[in-house]
Structure 1
Amino acid sequence: MASYYDVDAILTDSHKLPCKFMLTVPGLGYIDGNVGEDMKQGTQVELPLWLGEVMAVSAVGTQLIELDLPDALSTRIMNALQADAKTVDIRALAPHFYTLAARILELFDEKGMVEILDEVLKVPKRAAEIADQAHNPRGALGEGAEFLRGLDETERQLFRVAHDSAKAVRTWMTELKKA
Structure 2
Amino acid sequence: MDLDEYYNIDNILAEQIVKDTKRQERIPCIALHDYAAETNLLGDGQPVDRNQRFELPFWIAKPMAQFTLPGNMVENSLISIELPKTFGTRVRNALDASASNVDFRLLCPYFYLFGLKLLDLVVDKPLAIALRTAFRARLLDITDFSQTLGASAGQEFLQKLDETEKEIYKAGQESAIQFRNWTNRSIHLIKTVNITRPQ
TM-score by length of 1: 0.84
Q: Distance in 2 between matches of 1:160 and 1:46?
A: 36
Aligned residue pairs total 173
Partner of 2:14: 12
CA distance in 2, matches of 1:138, 1:44: 50
Match of 1:28 in 2: 39
CA distances 1:91-111 after superposition (whole Å, capped 9, x unpaired) = 211110000111111112211
The aligned residue for residue 130 of structure 1 is 142
Give the aligned residue type for 1:9. Answer: N
Say whether residues 1:49 and 2:58 are aligned partners.
yes
Alignment root-mean-square deviation, CA = 2.4
Normalising by structure 2, we get a TM-score of 0.76
| AA matched with 1:44 | R
By how many angstroms is 1:144 displaced?
4.5
Structure whose residues are more often helix by fraction: 1
- Give the drift of 1:160: 0.7
Structure with max Cα Rg: 2
Distance, in Å, in 2 between the alignment partners of 1:66 and 1:115 is: 22
Which of these residues, 174, 192, 196, is aligned with residue 164 of structure 1? 174
1:93 and 2:103 correspond: no
Q: What percentage of aligned pairs have identical amino acids?
A: 31
State the match for 2:120 in structure 1: 106
Per the alignment, residue 73 of structure 1 pairs with 87
Distance 1:88 1:103 in 2: 20
CA distance in 2, matches of 1:130, 1:121: 10
Residue pair 2:145, 2:153 contacting (<8 A) in 1 also? no
Listed one character per residue, the Cα deviations across residues 117-142 of structure 1 (whole Å, up to 9, x for unaligned) are 222222xx211111111111116xx4
Q: Which amino acid aligns with 1:157?
A: E
